[in-house]
């Protein structure tokens, strides 16, 4: 009986160890790219899905085009387009293993693939409106359309002979300083 029990324990241990090793080996296998081809990937925060048939990659705040498998001598074009209410805040990329910021500062790039893989990163952020209402005794600056996460500073400049009373939002005082900074996370309306 002890021999049979020991046999089952040993069998279970070998089975579990063997399966675990197979699963681990499968996880580290990279996709095979055919010879003479190059892969262009586009990634970023808020990725929703990809359409391999047309190279379109969907994100929460927009989409990018140009991802996919290319002939090694082809010219590729990648682009990023924000949806209404969002801004493209970053679109960078370059060859894998090379200068990953070779392309930066635009919403569209065309380049020779040169038989190497390329990776691009895109970031879209939600837009918010910061509305400033000035009383007749001065001027205000710093409002407008801002993106989520930005630090916004609003400034009030009272005219000669007037005194700044504070920044109010919804009738409540939020700051008595003529310069008020906050991190943008919603539409806001301030009155001075």
Q: Are 167 and 180 in contact (CB under 8 A)?
A: yes
Q: Which pTM value belongs to this model?
A: 0.73
Contact status, residue 100 vs residue 120, Cβ threshold 8 Å:
no
- From residue 86, how far is each of 41, 62, 68, 92, 152 by CA, in Å? 22, 7, 25, 18, 17
Residues 121 and 140 in one domain: no
pLDDT digits (tens, 9 = 90+) for 170-179: 999 999 999 9
Alpha-carbon separation of residue 32 from 36, 131, 151, 169 (angstroms): 12, 53, 44, 57
Is the same domain home to 50 and 110?
yes
The 10s digit of each residue's pLDDT in 96-126 is 999 888 898 899 999 999 999 999 999 999 9
Averaged over 150-155, what is the pLDDT? 98
Euclidean distance between CA atoms 67 and 161, whole angstroms = 61
> Does 164 fall in a domain?
yes
Give the span between the Cα atoms of 144 and 130, in whole angstroms: 5
Question: Is residue 104 in some structural domain?
Answer: yes
Map residue 143 onto helix, strand or coil.
Answer: coil
Of the two residues 34 and 163, the one the predictor is more confident about is 163
Same domain assignment for residues 64 and 105: yes
What pLDDT does 8 receive?
A: 53
> Is 7 inside any structural domain?
no
Q: Are residues 177 and 149 in the same domain?
A: yes
Identify the helix (H) or strand (E) that includes residue 179. strand 179-183
Asked if residue 88 lies in contact with residue 124, where contact means CB atoms within 8 angstroms, the answer is: yes
Segments forming the whole domain that contains residue 179: 134-191
Q: What is the DSSP letter of 186?
A: S
b/e per residue 4-28 (b: at least 16 CB within 10 A):
eeeeeeeeeeeeeeeeeeeeeeeee
**Would you say residue 180 lies in a domain?**
yes
In the listed set 86, 108, 125, which residue is the last one of a domain according to the structure? 125
The last residue of one of the domains, among 105, 125, 145, is 125
């Amino acid at each position: 009986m002890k021999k049979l029990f020991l046999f089952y324990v040993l069998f279970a241990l070998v089975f579990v160890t063997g399966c675990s090793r197979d699963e681990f080996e499968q996880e580290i296998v990279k996709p095979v790219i055919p010879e003479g081809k190059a892969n262009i990937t586009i990634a970023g925060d808020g990725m929703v899905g990809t359409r391999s048939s047309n190279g379109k990659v969907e994100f929460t705040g927009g989409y990018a085009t140009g991802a996919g498998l290319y002939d090694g001598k082809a010219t590729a074009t990648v682009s990023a387009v924000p949806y209404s209410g969002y801004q493209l805040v970053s679109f960078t990329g370059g060859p894998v293993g090379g200068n990953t910021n070779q392309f930066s500062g635009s919403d569209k790039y065309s380049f020779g693939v040169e038989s190497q893989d390329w990776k691009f990163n895109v970031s879209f952020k939600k837009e918010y409106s910061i509305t400033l209402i000035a009383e007749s005794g001065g001027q205000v600056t710093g409002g407008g359309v801002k993106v989520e996460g930005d630090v916004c500073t609003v400034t009030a400049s009272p005219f000669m002979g007037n005194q700044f009373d504070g920044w109010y939002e919804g009738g409540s005082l939020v700051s008595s300083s003529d310069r008020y900074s906050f991190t943008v996370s919603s539409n806001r309306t301030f009155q001075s």
